Amino acid sequence: LDPKFDAGFRAHNTNVFPQRPDRAYVGYIDGGALILDIADKAHPKLVGRWQYSPPFNGFTHTVLPLFERNLLIVSDECIKDDGFDWPKLVWVVDARVEENLVPISTLPAPPHSAFARRGGRFGAHNLHENLPVPASWRSDQIVVGTFFNAGVRAYDISNPYQPQEVAYFVPGAPVLSRAGAIQLNDVYVDDRRIVYTVDRFVGGLYILEMTL
């Protein structure tokens, strides 16, 4: 990996779900997307790994399994301002064979020309992670994620080979933000399809209704 993009090898987001309590799905920064066998908690074992950096610029953030579809949604994290580490993407990965993870598409990225120099970070970050708790919205057809200065966006992945953007929200620059643009950082969707998304700095919390 190019040293100017090197963020190291360590776990970032780690997901364990009741559908597969023997598996952990880990974004391992510059180590890619990992599936771990955690049946023996004292001795986790690597089952599958998708490593795509290089040639891409590193920082795998989230690995979200869609169990009934044998897919993983894998998000990168942009960590540099002004598009320096572009592209930072959200990937759809075929996980039918855990030992051989195969990328099959990416979610359509917001246009580089419109956002790269708008201010602050531009690229993928957090996903709504289908949390297995009461009141969390869960879907294996719609993916919702944050893209810093490109806002929060929703995608239809009913055809995993041709994802389609179906909604987005990009607020204006918050007053006094050091980025000079919105930096939507995280997102959660409740079972009423109310979307909660928060700015990284001073913009506060936005509450939206998703009508998809």
Per-residue model confidence as pLDDT tens digits over 54-74:
999 999 999 999 999 999 999
pLDDT digits (tens, 9 = 90+) for 172-197: 999 999 999 999 999 999 999 999 99
- Mean pLDDT, rounded, for 15-38: 98
Residue bearing the bigger pLDDT, 169 or 7: 169
pLDDT digits (tens, 9 = 90+) for 80-103: 999 999 999 999 999 999 999 999
- Mean pLDDT, rounded, for 112-132: 98
Amino acid type, 151: G
Contacts of 91 (CB under 8 A, 6+ apart): 52, 72, 73, 74, 75, 76, 103, 105, 106, 107
Q: Domain count of the chain?
A: 1
pLDDT at 4: 85
Q: What's the burial of 10, exposed, middle or buried (CB within 10 Å: 0-12/13-18/19+)?
A: exposed
pLDDT tier for residue 5 given thresholds of 50, 70 and 90 = confident
- Mean pLDDT, rounded, for 196-202: 98
pLDDT at 69: 99
Query: Which residue in 64, 10, 186 sits closest to 196, CA to CA?
Result: 186
Question: Considering the chain, what percentage of its residues have pLDDT values greater than 70?
Answer: 100
Residue 1 has pLDDT above 80, yes or no: no
pTM for the predicted model, two decimal places: 0.97
pLDDT at 3: 84
Provide the mean pLDDT of the chain.
Answer: 97
CATH number at residue 161: 2.130.10.10
> Whole domain around residue 86: which residue ranges?
3-209
* 8-state DSSP, 67: G
pLDDT at 46: 99
